[in-house]
């Protein structure tokens, strides 16, 4: 996942789930254990969001099958709550809420020029931080909404329709 290989990660997780994880979420070795399923859950988290080295990475390692994805109030490094929506393989918007009040660097994954607005829809100052990332300074309780320039996407948080049936 750290390498951005979402398809490989999905393949490995699928193998783990189909061969080793039991319906009760336990993994069977010499007896039932929980470490491996917890590692699988962390792997899912890392596919959706990574925050290390002072950078929040949104949707860094998604497989192609996950064209639509919604994440809501996902806690990141630096006490930020991340919400974001991806539709048709395109990140539509990213919102960060600061719980502590600090600058943040976010690799948002939105193609092309972006706009950053505060919680009231007013333009918010930001600067480029390289490699598709921007730097935003937020006070405690403040939020930043990142969208493609000129885009006004639907900001509704809603369940995503599954791609296919999944085993219980």
* pLDDT tens-place string over residues 18-52: 666 767 666 766 666 677 777 778 888 998 999 99
What confidence tens digit (pLDDT) does each residue in 43-88 have?
889 989 999 999 999 999 998 889 999 999 999 999 999 999 999 9
Q: Average pLDDT of 113-130? A: 96
What backbone torsions phi and psi does residue 46 show, to the nearest 5 degrees?
-70, -25
Q: Burial code of 94-128, b = ≥16 C-beta within 10 A, e = fewer?
A: bbbbbeeeeebbbbbbbeeebbbeeeeeeebebee
Q: Residue 61 corresponds to which tokens in the numbers above?
A: 């390692």
pTM of the model: 0.84
Give a three-class secondary structure readout of 31-60.
CEECHHHHHHHHHHHHHHEEEECCEEEECC
Q: By the 8 A CB rule, do 125 and 51 touch?
A: no
Q: Residue 71 corresponds to which tokens in the numbers above?
A: 């994440």
User: Closest Cα partner for 160 from 80, 91, 82, 66?
Assistant: 66
Report the C-alpha gap between 146 and 126 in whole angstroms.
10
Q: Is the pLDDT reported for residue 111 higher than 90? A: yes
Report the C-alpha gap between 48 and 13 in whole angstroms.
14
Q: In the chain, which ranges are continuous DSSP H helix?
A: 6-19, 35-48
* DSSP assignment letter at 66: -
């Amino acid at each position: 996942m750290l390498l951005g290989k979402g398809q490989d990660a999905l393949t490995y997780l699928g193998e783990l789930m189909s061969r080793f994880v039991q319906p009760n979420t336990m993994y069977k070795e010499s007896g039932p254990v929980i470490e491996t399923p917890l590692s699988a859950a962390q792997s899912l988290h890392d596919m959706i969001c990574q925050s290390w080295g002072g950078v929040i990475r949104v949707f860094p390692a998604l497989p192609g099958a996950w064209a639509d994805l919604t994440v809501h109030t996902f806690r990141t490094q630096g006490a930020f709550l991340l919400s974001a929506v991806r539709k048709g393989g395109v990140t539509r918007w990213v919102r960060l809420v600061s719980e502590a009040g600090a600058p943040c660097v976010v690799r948002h994954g939105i193609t092309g020029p972006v706009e950053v607005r505060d919680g009231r829809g007013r333009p918010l100052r930001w600067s480029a931080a390289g490699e598709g990332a921007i730097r935003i300074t937020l006070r405690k309780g403040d939020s930043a909404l990142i969208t493609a320039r000129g885009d006004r996407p639907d900001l509704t948080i809603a369940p995503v329709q599954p791609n296919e049936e999944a085993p219980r």
